[in-house]
Chains A and B, each alone.
Chain A
Amino acid sequence: MHVLRHSRRLVLGLVALLLAAACAPGATNNSSSTAKGGTVTILGVWTDGELDSFNAVLAPFEQQTGIDVQFVATRDQDAVLTTEVAAGDPPDLAAAPSPSLLTRFANEKKVVPLQNVIDMNALKSTYDKSWIDLGTVNGNLVQVFSWAALKGLVWYDPKVWTAKGYTVPKTWDDLIALQNKMKSNGDTPWCMAVESGAASGWAGSDFEKEITLSLVGPTVYDQWWQGKQKWTSAPIKQAWTTFGSILGPNDSNVYGGSNYIINTNFGDVGTPMFQNPPKCMMLNQASFITSFFTQADPSLKAGTDYAFFPLPDASTQYAGSHVVSGDAWSMFHNTPQSKALLNYLLTANAQAIWVKRGGKISPNKDVPLSDYPDQLSKDTATALVSTKVAKYDAGDLMPTDMKNAYWSAILDFIKDQSKLDSILANLDQVQSTAYTAS
């Protein structure tokens, strides 16, 4: 009994201590009340070098306003954000690499309509209307876009091409002719790599949707990602068969065939092209692929060792069309701090900071070309601005399970092009349920 009495006292004392300790992380975590200007919480995906760039963008803002921006990055943004929104504990702002996640929340009415939050005059004068329309759901502006990337850029090694006598094709027929010329020379025209973990197939879908856009035009393109145009319909199917003509029978136009394409990570797509002797002549990827080139081989120089030309239009009817993508922002809590930050992020000054560091393009028309760090990115920005028909990446606009089915379909198509009809039929099936809130 003595033992019991003593231990009880000891225990009570320790319980008190324990509670104090448990609250301690909370106490030291108390950044919400130290900064004079308040806080903003953001959930995004940028880490590593990207985070450094984003922090550089935030620095002037934090200095001027005294607001403390707490940015949390996670690769599992789908899971974390879905849980936090459903549990009633979302961050103030969310930055997503594609609109599909945020659109879902917009449909569930969990995001703040931005017409009264953003300086709409400034937005309308600095952004092309298509970007504003993109973020509008049911008449409410629910998403805004910061940095963009341009898709449908064909990368090649100018030294190799000059040596072999290849010239940059201007039209689709030129491209096909070039393909044939390369094959008769014994060179493999294309390199492709579409592996990407849970997102495998997206790189191939970029190529395919670029073709789709120029074949079907903006209106049908919109109907397509909105689920109103069947996958088995003639124009959409034609885009796939055209993509098939790039791949060649049994993917013979691509280095390594279907096995290599499907099993190689998209970031390694340039490796065969830069080998000596080169294993392929060109590859189609977005503007951000250059950082992968230089990481794998730091000696590569922009312009001399790699350059790009825009993928020629598959049909002349909708010439000058391109697929773009960008970082989408939504707001969950309308506070003075989150409002100030969001407006700041849309300004040319804020966007230019990252642009100067390289790796991103700005859709804001007021960012001068001179801010781009090298000729290549200047060219990309020019291409973005001069694109007559800039359409957002259709896959990113589709509901997530439609998008996933699309990517899987690309993998299946690359594996066996003869299965196209059943692949498209399957996509139609997914389409019939994906667009309704089930």
Chain B
Amino acid sequence: MDVGLLLSDVVTLVVVIVAVPAVLAGYIIFGEYLVRLFPDRIRGGVRPWIWVGPALLFVAGYLVFPTIATVIQSFENAAGNWVGLHNYAVQLGNFPNGGAWIAIRNNVLWLVLYTLLVLFFGLLLAVIFDRVPYESIVKSLIFMPMAISSVALGVIWKFMYTYQPPDTPQTGTMNAVVVNLFHLQPITWLSDPNVNNYALITAGIWGIVGFSMVILSAALKGIPTDLLEAARVDGAGEITIFRRIIFPLMMPTVVVVGTTLVIFALKAFDIVYVMTAGNFGTDVLANRMYKLLFQAGNPGGASAVAVVLLLAVVPVLIFNLRQFQAVESRR
């Protein structure tokens, strides 16, 4: 190990850690200074753009511009010629048995089960952990799966779902339970189309509950305790307090977490790719898109699938808009 290299590494790192926030703070301080140069009347009109400007620029460059490029590409073939809706016809053909429709069906499964269960567990854990003194410890334990990379997650759950023939001792946890505790035949979790999607979704849920728990817990902590105190003094039971005070106050955060989860479910890729690669009826849209783009050399088809995915998000956005407007009107 080169000590000289290590030392210069550390110095560089420290410099970067100090300089980056300084630059950003500097930007906003300088920005406000600029705003103050404007006459009073216009300040309110100029100021927001200084604050949202950087975010909008980043997003424009890294997300909007590629999205526009993608939409355009969905109407072209690999050589770059215009082909109209051809890619869509090919990708979405053959309803209901076509590959894309199986993927869409699976994405809907993910959307419903993944979102609801992760929200449920996140809420449940946030609420009950809040009431125990060793909250920090259990929270860290539940959070731990988040810290694992998706490849490692795939490896863990592949181990969990390992199948051995009925006459051999089981090496996978799930089948060990099934065979030894329930005395049933071992199940081929990943290749049996009756269970494999649920098996994958379970692995996905395990990895992300920490996310929902942490955010919902943060929201829970933000509820003023005097409200809760007052309700308890009034004699309300815990369940009522949860239903009437806690949950409604957490609703905006639940919407945020729920929306994010729905979008994650639509974009589900890593787990499916690592564990089954979409075989046996577990395919999802993001997996198809990946294969089209990087393996089939078909960027037009990949773009068409991506556009379908993006369009699927629109209802979610509309729901968010309604929530917004409800909150705004209450202000």
Contact = CB atoms under 8 A, between A and B. Distances in A.
A256 interface: yes
A11 B20 CA distance: 10
Residue of A20, A28, A198, A199 ringed by the most chain B CB atoms within 10 A: A198
B54 interface: no
A7 B279 CA distance: 58
Contact of B163 (A11, A260, A399): A260
Contacts of A408: 279
B12 interface: yes
Interface in A354-413: 399-401, 404, 408, 411
A400 B292 CA distance: 9
Given A14-B26, A401-B295, A21 B12 contact: yes
Interface string A123-146: 000000000000000000000000
Nearest to A101: B295
B20 to A, nearest CB: 6
A12 interface: yes
Given A7-B29, A199-B277, A264-B163, A17 B295 contact: no
**A199, A260, A434 interface centre (most CB from chain B within 10 Å):** A260
Given A8-B29, A260-B163, A18 B20 contact: yes
A78 B297 CA distance: 10
20 contacts: A4-B33, A8-B26, A8-B30, A11-B25, A11-B30, A12-B26, A15-B22, A18-B22, A28-B5, A108-B297, A200-B276, A256-B164, A256-B165, A259-B165, A263-B163, A263-B191, A401-B292, A401-B295, A404-B291, A437-B77
A438 B29 contact: no
Contacts of B294: 78-79, 82-83
Interface in A1-17: 4, 7-8, 10-12, 14-15, 17
B23 A263 contact: no
A11 B29 contact: yes
Interface string B9-27: 0001001101110110110
A250 interface: no
Interface in B6-64: 8, 12, 15-16, 18-20, 22-23, 25-26, 29-30, 33
Given A28-B5, A259-B165, A21 B16 contact: yes
Contacts of B8: 24, 28
A415 B273 CA distance: 21
Nearest to A103: B297
The DSSP consensus for interface residues of chain A is: helix
A272 to B, nearest CB: 8
A11 B297 contact: no
A11 B22 contact: yes
A78 B295 contact: yes
B22 A10 contact: yes
Interface string A34-45: 000000000000
A197 B165 CA distance: 20
A30 to B, nearest CB: 13
A438 B26 contact: no
Interface string B156-188: 000000111100000000000000000000001
Contacts of A437: 77-79, 297
A277 interface: no
A104 interface: yes
Nearest to A9: B26
Nearest to B26: A11
B191 A18 contact: no
Interface in B265-319: 273-277, 279-280, 290-298, 300-301
A99 interface: no
Interface in A255-280: 255-257, 259-260, 262-264
A411 B283 CA distance: 15
A65 interface: no
Contact of A24 (B12, B18, B279, B301): B12
B125 interface: no
Nearest to B17: A21
A104 B26 contact: no
A397 to B, nearest CB: 15
Nearest to A402: B296
Given A7-B25, A7-B26, A198-B277, A438 B90 contact: yes
Interface of A: 4, 7-8, 10-12, 14-15, 17-18, 20-22, 24-25, 28, 78-79, 82-83, 104, 108, 197-201, 255-257, 259-260, 262-264, 399-401, 404, 408, 411, 415, 433-434, 437-438
A18 B276 CA distance: 44
Nearest to B296: A401
Q: 8 smallest A-B Cβ distances: which pairs? A: A11-B26, A18-B19, A198-B277, A256-B165, A14-B22, A400-B295, A263-B163, A401-B296
B262 interface: no
A409 B42 CA distance: 67
A212 to B, nearest CB: 22
B76 to A, nearest CB: 11
Contacts of A8: 26, 29-30, 33
A18 B277 contact: no
Contacts of B119: none
B277 A197 contact: yes
A25 B18 CA distance: 17
Nearest to A198: B277
B190 interface: yes
B162 A21 contact: no
Contact of B164 (A24, A104, A260): A260
B290 A411 contact: no
B263 to A, nearest CB: 22
B77 A17 contact: no
Contact of B297 (A17, A104, A260): A104
Contacts of B273: 197-198
Contacts of B293: 79, 82
A15 B291 contact: no
Contacts of A21: 12, 15-16, 19
A433 B15 contact: no
Contact of B15 (A18, A83, A199): A18
Contacts of A404: 291, 295
A263 B15 CA distance: 50
A166 B207 CA distance: 50
